[in-house]
Amino acid sequence: MTFRLLETGVSPGAFNMGLDEAILGAVAEGRQPPTLRLYGWNPPTVTLGYFQGLDEEVDREACARMGVDVVRRITGGGAVFHDAELTYSIVLPESHPRARPGILDSYRVLCAGVVEGLARLGLSGEFAPINDVLVGGRKVSGNAQTRKRGCILQHGTILLDVDVDRMFALLKVPSEKMKGKLIEDVKQRVTSLRHQLGRSVGLPEAAAAFAAGFAAALDVVLDPAQPSPEELEEGRRIAREKYGTEAWTGRRK
Amino acid sequence: MTLRRIVKIPAGKLLKLTADVENGVLKSVAVRGDFFAHPEEGFDRAEESLVDIPVGEFRSAFSAALAREGVELFGLSADAAADVFEEMLHDLPPA
């Protein structure tokens, strides 16, 4: 069984989300096989969950000042600051043998790719429902799934490094009074490959490890490819008409 | 009057609930947070259907609307949202 493997390097957030959606469309229409995509972010981007309020979660002035884009996802879950990170997306039909009907089961099956990728770097990860992967009890990966047009799209992050203070300069917290404590809590609860391995892991090394991890966990062969010209064009169009617009980003204030 | 609560749902996600209530009627409601709902658009429609209902009907109306839309929730439940909603009604001045 073969999945297509796309390594698309680093891109702006609106394009990253647009290309994930374009791949979903191509797989849904049978124009492309199930696909694993690995990518990064430039400029750094805050993504918001589908059900989150923009003004509630993000300090847009701080983002503008620090050159950080803000983009809303089609998936639920929380706000994420994407910087030193490997991101993956995986798209497969709901009817595919590797797909699971239940959402929680699907998270478990697909997050096994993250756990296996960590193993290839010498780390022992564990899936923590609903949607996290932990190393040593600390979160190293967050994941989010949606189902559209008969397909599953799951995307998720693997932290190569993390700067919690910088993250909280961009995000709003429910109570300014509690901010200090919250930051300390998050520092305790979140980790990264660099923290765990005591050395930096670059995007190429991480991409190789997690491609192998997904291939092993899903028992599939990965066929390296490029996004089709149609997918790239569609991804750019969706970025322009949806993810790059205030109407979409601010649809929940 | 605008009512608002931010509540960590037990064994769930962070719910940020905002509602405008006038004379016992829900004029607007925003159910926001880092939960998951499938399909997402069904949740949007269920949420919109709550506008102009009497506040006492929130629990039954939200639950029925989510069921009608076939929405599955993770990190939140209709009842957990209703618990928070009913709790924040205590902020209303006595009639």
Q: Can you list the domains of chain A with their CATH numbers? A: 2-248 (3.30.930.10)
Query: What does residue A98 show for φ and ψ, rounded to 5 degrees?
Result: -85, -5
pLDDT of residue A178: 86
In this prediction, what percent of chain A has a pLDDT beyond 70?
100
Do the chains contact at A145 and B36, CB–CB below 8 Å?
A: yes
Q: Is residue A240's pLDDT more than 90?
A: yes
Which of B6, B39, B74 faces A130 most closely, judged by CB atoms? Answer: B74
Do the chains contact at B13 and A147, CB–CB below 8 Å?
A: no
ipTM: 0.96
Q: Is residue A175's pLDDT more than 90?
A: no
| Average pLDDT of the residues of chain A | 97
Q: Which residues of A224-235 are buried (b: 16+ CB within 10 A; e: fewer)?
A: eeebbeebbebb
**What residues 75-94 of chain A have any CB closer than 8 A to a CB of chain B?**
75-79
> What is the spatial distance between Cα A27 and Cα A11, in angstroms, rounded to a whole number?
21
Sequence letter at residue B17:
L
- Quote the minimal CA–CA distance from B42 to chain A in Å: 12
pLDDT average per 10 residues of sequence, chain B (95 residues): 95 96 97 98 98 98 98 97 97 85
Count of A-B CB contacts under 8 Å: 55
Which of B13, B43, B74 faces A103 most closely, judged by CB atoms? Answer: B74
Task: Read off the DSSP letter of residue A172.
Answer: -
**For residue A205, what are the contacts with CB-CB under 8 A and spacing of at least 6?**
none
C-alpha radius of gyration, chain A, whole number: 17
**Enclosing H/E stretch for A63:** helix A60-65
pLDDT of residue A177: 87
Residue A223: band (very low, low, confident or very high) from pLDDT cuts 50, 70, 90: very high
- Domain architecture of chain B: domains with CATH: 2-91 (3.30.390.50)
> What is the spatial distance between Cα A252 and Cα A54, in angstroms, rounded to a whole number?
6
